[in-house]
């Protein structure tokens, strides 16, 4: 991929919109379909990243691990009952020989059953996108959370 055409920018924007919306709609299985089989999904605090420390908050280095995480959420884990609302900033798109580097700021609000909302997390997405059969897919997603002090717990993906 070379130039960032308006068409390409629109496709990236649509992918980011889909990414956030599928989590917000609790369609995590469909969300995982946005990733390639050899994908990597990582949530890491800015604190660790800035110190060059490798520890994540959540790390799935394959689709299998990502699917396991979702399967566990559905069947095993107990966590705060909530809905998510992602608000994404504009994407920065940087093509290179291997694909696309895409980053965007996000805010993630969580709302409980009583309609009480809190700002749960802010940070930045760093995606590697590749084209597979005419579709843009996520090869890797690194979520760098500024909100490294996780409120209560971190169950559903960011």
Partner 1 sequence: MSQAAEALSRYGFPEADCSRIPYGMYRDAEIYALEQERIFRGPVWNFVALEAEIPAPGDFRVVEIGDTPVIVNRAKDGAVHAMVNRCAHRGSILQRHLHGNTKVHTCCYHQWSFDLTGRLVGVPFQKGVAGVGGLPEDFDRACHGLKRLKVEILSGVIFASFSQEVAPLRDFLGPLFTQQVERLFAKPIRVLGYQRQRIFGNWKLYTDNLRDPNHGGLLHMFQIAFGIARLNATGGAKMDAEGKHNLSWAAQGGREPAEAGAASTAGYGDTGRGDQKIGLRDPSMLVYRKEFPDELTLAISSLFPGAALQQIGNTLAVRQIRTRSADEFEIVSTFFGYQDDDADMVRHRLRKANLAGPAGLVSMEDGEAVELVHRAIVRDAQEHSVVEFGGRGPIRDQDNLVSDVPMRGFWMHYCKLMGIETGAAEAAAQ
For residue 123, the surrounding DSSP H or E stretch is: strand 117-132
CB nearer to partner 1: pick between 97 and 149 = 149
CB nearer to partner 1: pick between 18 and 48 = 48
Residue 36, φ and ψ in degrees, nearest 5: -75, 160
* Cα→Cα distances 112→1, 28, 81, 102, Å: 42, 18, 6, 31
What residues numbered 46-75 form the site for partner 1, per CB under 8 A? 47-48, 51, 53-62, 64-65, 67-69, 71-72, 75
Torsion of CA 45, 47, 48, 52, to 10 degrees: 130
**43 and 145 in contact (C-beta within 8 Å)?**
yes
Residue 105, φ and ψ in degrees, nearest 5: -80, 150
Residue 97 contacts partner 1 per CB under 8 A: no
Question: Residue 128 Cβ, how far from partner 1 at the closest point, in Å?
Answer: 19
CB nearer to partner 1: pick between 45 and 139 = 45
Specify the stretch interacting with partner 1 by CB under 8 A; choose among 78-86, 87-95, 100-108, 136-144: 78-86
What residues numbered 17-46 form the site for partner 1, per CB under 8 A? 43, 45
CB nearer to partner 1: pick between 17 and 38 = 38
CB neighbour list of residue 28: distance below 8 Å, 6 or more residues apart: 22, 70, 73, 74, 156, 157
| Positions in the binding site for partner 1 (CB under 8 A) | 43, 45, 47-48, 51, 53-62, 64-65, 67-69, 71-72, 75-80, 148-155
């Amino acid at each position: 991929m070379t130039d960032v055409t308006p068409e390409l920018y629109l496709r990236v924007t649509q992918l980011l919109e889909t990414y956030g919306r599928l989590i917000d709609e609790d369609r995590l299985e469909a969300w995982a379909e946005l990733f390639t089989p050899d994908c990597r999904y990582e949530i890491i605090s800015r604190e660790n990243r800035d110190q060059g420390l490798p520890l994540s908050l959540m790390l799935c280095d394959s689709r299998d691990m990502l699917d396991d995480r979702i399967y566990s959420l559905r069947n095993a884990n107990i966590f705060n009952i909530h809905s998510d609302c992602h608000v994404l900033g504009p994407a920065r798109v940087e093509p290179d020989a291997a694909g696309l580097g895409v980053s965007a700021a996000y805010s993630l609000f969580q709302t409980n059953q009583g309609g009480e909302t809190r700002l749960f997390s802010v940070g930045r997405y760093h995606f590697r996108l590749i084209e597979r059969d005419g579709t843009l897919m996520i090869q890797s997603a690194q979520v760098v959370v500024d909100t490294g002090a996780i409120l209560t717990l971190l169950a559903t993906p960011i």
